[in-house]
Structure 1
Amino acid sequence: TEAQEAFIYDKIQLVVATNAFGMGIDKSNVRFVIHYNMPKNMESYYQEAGRAGRDGEPADCILLYAPGDKHIQKFLIDQVDAAAPRKEEQLKKLQQMVDYCHTSRCLRSYILKYFGEKDVPSKCANCSSCNDQRQLQDITVEAQKILSCVYRLDQGWGITVTAKVLAGSKSKKILESNFDQLSTYAIMSDYTIKEIKNLINLLIADGYLSQSGAKYPLLKLNQKSYQVMQGKLEVERRIEAEQQRVSEDSKLFIILKDLRKEIAEKEGVPPYIIFHDSSLKDMCRLLPQSKEEMLKVSGVGEVKYSRYGEKFLTTVKEYSH
């Protein structure tokens, strides 16, 4: 096609295409391959990501993933007219692709092990997992709660039901099954169901929890599960950006909200006109001590600073000293 030819001859720098694009095309100087959706299996991802950096120079392969991607791929597999064993194999490969998206371990190591490589280094110092500078968080207690719930559910349920029990869901299915009588019911009520499901997926991806069955996978305990429950093994993860958020009931956040309300009432404008909540939370997180640091706060530019910055900066400085 015209667009394909323009890309091959460097007339355009960027092309948006389906995963079929590039088959048989030998363009060596591709610097980025960005997947907007998760591929159906590791074989597809390896082939598609491999279109970057064929000239031997550094290149980036970025995979954007959302939990809904799994449901889309699962639906497509279900639509194919294939024998049950074939579908089971495809669903198993899909789960391994999902595990790749969730694992906190070296991505290069994951790929090499998937394709049968032996004696693979545990770190490559090049992938997003190895270069992740976010703070490590000990989630052993959370992992023990999840694994205990799987045990209490007789290892007979999947991710969603387990997450609902832990969160203390009052859904009809949970109550009719008397899961609200379990000792693990609502023991993670300070987490959302979505957050618990993400934790479960991490445990699966890093081998602390297993699944059986492909079409309707059930959570199963393994050797590492019991080691975690017995306190012989610790579980860590990188703190996600959303979990570095400032609590809305934190003392400084409340003080800044009161200041914002006071200014807004004087000027006769809605509080968000002064600063959005996200800006106040950023102030709580960064604790700026100067104008330069205040200007690094999300939503604070020169104009906003000249109007309101000094008052908020003074309040933050007084709080943090």
Structure 2
Amino acid sequence: MENANNVSEFILLGLTQNQDLQKVFFGLFLVFYSAIVLGNLLIIVTVKSSPNLNSPMYFFLSYLSLVDICYSSVTTPKLISDFLVKKKTISFIGCIAQLFGFHFFGCTEIFLLTVMAYDRYIAICKPLHYTTIMNKTVCSWMVVASWIGGLLHSIIQTVFTTHLPFCGPNEIDHYFCDVQPLLKLACTDTYIAGLIVFADSGIISLSSFLLLSVSYILILISLRTHSSEGRLKALSTCASHIIVVILFFGPCIFIYMRPSTTFSEDKSVAVFYTVITPMLNPLIYTLRNQEVKNAMRKLWKKKTTLGGK
């Protein structure tokens, strides 16, 4: 597949041009990616195999872990392999596929984090109606809606990008294919396309973040009427989610809530939401959650017992 001007491949400039630093980064990011896959798989297996973790919160958490694995897998393996080669190329169709997957899973994660905040709001502010409102059917439809929302967003980004003419140069100043670096390479006026990217990606990030903020403001107001013990338990449950939201949304808003321009810091900022946050999510949700830690211990004991037999 080639676009209208026969650009068959792009050259990725990567995170750095320093050869020695690339060797260090190869080992470092290989460890990061292994931690992402193993950590999030552990969350999924623990939730699916533990009867005690059957609440909507853990149902959403297992899907968040699945999305994290998919999301990081779109960019990180290519980034790791590129550290070992001098010329980092990606085909036109490979670039578009990477762009599609990145926005698909990234937007799905945004919607899932928003759904998880709504779940916490219902659990804390309307506890008597929680099981009625957040029943299994509703939770399943929320997950499906998150995937569909991510798909629609990704289709919009991909369609507009593939219709841009590229006639050189074909060097992308990034370590993966994203809309804004590609807009810089298009040999046409990209003002309208830039506005569409801003309106789609930026507004989704900002509006979801505002909804999350409103949810937690209402939760904090509601907690004033709770006992000190109940207040601490609720805050402990919400703290993990708030940390993940800040780590993920902060860099996203920085990148997408501005006109279609690129800065030298963009690559470093992108590392946070493509690698660091998916890697930290399992740690954040397990280290601050006694139920998950207990479930993991039981799962480990069961495994060792069966292994001993």
TM-score normalised by the shorter chain: which range applies?
Answer: under 0.3
If each structure's helix is expressed as a fraction of its own residues, which one has the higher value? Answer: 2
Q: TM-score, normalised by structure 1?
A: 0.23
Q: TM-score, normalised by structure 2?
A: 0.23
**Higher-Rg member (1/2):** 1
* Structure with larger RCO (C-alpha < 8 A, sep 6+): 2
